[in-house]
Structures are given as structure tokens and as C-alpha cells.
Amino acid sequence: MKAWRFHAFGDLRLDDVPEPTAAAGHVLVEPICVQPSVTEAQLAQGIPTLAYDRVKRRLETEAPLQLFGHEFCARVLEVGPGVTRVKPGDRVAARAKLPCGQCPLCLSERSTLCRKGPVIGFDLPGCFAERALIPEIALTLVDERISDSEAACLQSLSDSVAAVETAGLQVADTVVIFGQGSMGLECLQIARISGAGRIITVDVRDEALAVSRELGADHALNANAGDVVAAIRDLTEGNGADVVFECAGGSPKQGLAGNRSLLNALDAVRSGGKVIGVSWFGGPLEVNIDYLRERSLRYLFPDISTLGHLEHTVRLVASGRVRLKPTITHVLSGIGAVPRAFEITAQKGKYKAINPAQVMMRG
């Protein structure tokens, strides 16, 4: 079969590789629609971010290597022994980070806390290939009301569901979301249906702000148009927001906000409020801890998304409570378009992309 393999950072080739066969507890699938995550698109070029050291070590010792491809919609071709939840012909999507099933946490039914299990696309081959072998525990069935394109976004959406759950919203909380890329827009919609009162969103791209308004933001502010923290304080009677989601940080070379959005988030939240750190920064940051301490701030990071979160995303999208179509800006055709999807996703600002670029694998 054909599979995209990394021979080094920035060296992606469509190679012939042996086709996997269905093993116990595993499902052989044909990827229908796949998108690189922003993290994957940056790692593909060797830009330091989440998991950079691990990927670098694997490339140095194991290349050529099938990497990435955990955000997908696929068709089940064959199931291995013991698989009960899916059958050939089903459409499926997956969560990425899996429990190991063997550590004390997993054995005491706290597998959601396990950090020892494999990650699809990082430890296991993902879906930038004609076939992929996926553990059954990763998979959920896709409702027929959800398109292939939308289904490829469910993994990312499940991470956003986990982020909003981590925030523990109270009914009528004022919420600010920095960054209106795909995860920021997802957090907006999930916060809306999870009890948020007023929602204020921030970005520097007018096209993203327009989508944000369409998807329910009460105020969508352009951070380049003035003092955004002052504007948020004006809108919240001088208090600041109850909860702030920081979804914009990261390398400015890729059009992300550096650490400015985090510093703004810490200023825009009220005393005792919560900042939810969704972004990855790719390196250490200097933060004035005394400022957080003095204001009793909670700086929290999202839990890993579980199968329960993923199944919830299916209900949210199938019922129309979360809309993904307005965020899907680039859909490419054929397995040959995969490198182009990485390029667009790594430079979303330049290409005016909101969601990562998708590839319909059969063209």
C-alpha cells in the first residue's frame, strides 16, 4: 500500500509499505478524510512544540517512519479477534491518546489519568496512508448525519470538550477565548451550550472573527485594534472574565501569538478566576507567579479526552449543537495532496485557513 513516511524533518515521501493485517483488539481501516493537527504540521518541519524531542529521537533512530494522522474519518475494512464495537463498513473516528491498560491507574479504573499508553500517529502509524491499523478502544462510530469532513474534526473537538469540562463552568459565567482557530471556535460553541453567559472572543484575523460571530460570540475583538484587556475589562464592569481560554499561543513564525495571548489572558481574568491553557508554546515561558498568587488565579490545563468525550462530540455535531462546517476552509483531493495540507496547516494565517487543511484520501 502507499503511505507517507518521514525520512527526516521536512522530508516526506509517498512510499510503498506492507499492508497491516487485523490483529486482536485492532481494526483495519481505510482512511476517508484526514487532516494534520497544527502540532503535527509544525513537527513535520522540525519546529519545536509538543513531543518534539520524542519525534526527533524516533526519526534519528527509525526513519523512514510513518508519523502523524490521528485526526481522521475512516471506513472499517476488517476487525481482529475480540473486536465487538465496530464491524466492516462502519464509519469511525478516533481519540489519539490511549491508556496502556496495564499500569496501576488503568487497573484501578482511572485509565483517564494514564500517560503510559500509545498515541496514534506518534507511537502507532496513523492515517496518512491507504490503510491503518487502529486499536478498537480508540474508535467511535460516526453518526450518518455527520459528513466525512466533519468527522475528521471529532478528535480535536473531543480535546475541546475536555478543555471546557476542565473549566468547570458555572451557569452565566463570562467567558473570554483568545484565539479563534479551530479549537478556539470549538471551545466557544461548547462553552455556549455548557452554560456560559456572555462570551467574548479575541483574534487578529478578521475572517476568524467573522466566523466567531456567526458561531455565537457576543463580542469578537481584534487584538490589533487596541488594548484588548482594557476592552474586556470595560465589558465586565472592570472585573475581568470568570473563565479565559488561551488558544492562541505559540511560535509567531507560524502566525501564532507567542506568549502575548497568555499574558493578556492572565490580565483579562478576574481575581480567583480560571485560565485554561489550551495552547502549546514549544519552550519555557517566563510568568510572574507572584501576580497569579496575589490574585488567587487558577491556571489549569485540560485533561486528556476520553472515549466518553469523543462519543459526546458525535452527539454534539449530529444534533447541530456544534457546527463545524463554517470552520472547514480547505479540502484537498487525493493522497498526493498530503504535503500541501501540512504546508497550509503550518501557515494557517498566510492561507486564511481556520481548521487544518483536510485531504479526501481517494480524491
Contact residues for Zn ion, defined by CB under 5 A: 99-100, 103, 106, 114, 116
Angle at 224 between CA 221 and CA 229, to 5 degrees: 60
User: Smallest distance from the beta carbon of 111 to Zn ion, in angstroms?
Assistant: 6
Q: CA 192, 159, 316: angle at the middle one, nearest 5?
A: 45
Tell me how far, at minimum, the Cβ of 26 lies from Zn ion, in Å.
18
- What residue number has its CB nearest to Zn ion? 114
Nearer to Zn ion by C-beta: 114 or 297?
Answer: 114
Distances (CA, A) of 198 to 220, 232, 248, 282, 292: 11, 11, 20, 32, 24
Residue 83 C-beta: closest distance to Zn ion, Å: 20
As measured in angstroms, the least distance from the Cβ of 281 to Zn ion is 27
Shortest reach from residue 115's CB to Zn ion, in Å: 8
**Identity of the residue, 106 or 300, whose beta carbon is nearer to Zn ion in the bound complex:** 106
Q: Are 86 and 136 in contact (CB under 8 A)?
A: yes
Comparison of 102 and 296: residue with beta carbon closer to Zn ion? 102
Alpha-carbon distance of 335 to 316, in angstroms, equals 29
Which among 265, 247, 269 has a CA at the least distance from the CA of 256? 247
Cβ-contact 203, 180 below 8 angstroms:
yes
Q: List the one residue out of 189, 277, 180, 177 whose CA is nearest residue 232.
A: 177
Shortest distance, CB of residue 110 to Zn ion, whole angstroms?
Answer: 9
Closest CA to 301 of 274, 283, 323: 274
Smallest gap from Cβ 113 to Zn ion, in A, equals 8
Nearest to 244 by CA among 178, 156, 188, 161: 178
CB of 261 to Zn ion, least distance (A): 33
Quick one: 69 or 117, whose CB is closer to Zn ion? 117
CB of 276 to Zn ion, least distance (A): 25
> Which one, 61 or 108, has the nearer CB to Zn ion?
108
Residue 65 or 100 having the CB closest to Zn ion: 100
Nearer of residues 110 and 325 to Zn ion, judged by Cβ: 110
305: left (phi over 0), alpha (psi -120 to 50) or beta: beta
Neighbouring residues of 258: CB distance < 8 A, sequence distance ≥ 6: 249, 250, 251, 252
Residue 115 vs 145, nearer CB to Zn ion:
115
What are 82's three cell numbers? 475480540
Q: What angle do CA 82, 85, 90 make, to 5 degrees?
A: 115
> Please, which residues have CB within 8 angstroms of residue 294's CB and are 6 or more apart in sequence?
none
In the complex, the smallest distance separating the C-beta of residue 104 from Zn ion, rounded to whole angstroms, is 8
CA atoms within 13 A on the CB side of 111: 16
Of 112 and 222, CB closest to Zn ion: 112
Identify which of residues 99 and 179 has a Cβ nearer to Zn ion in the complex: 99
**Residue 101 near residue 118, CB atoms below 8 Å:** no
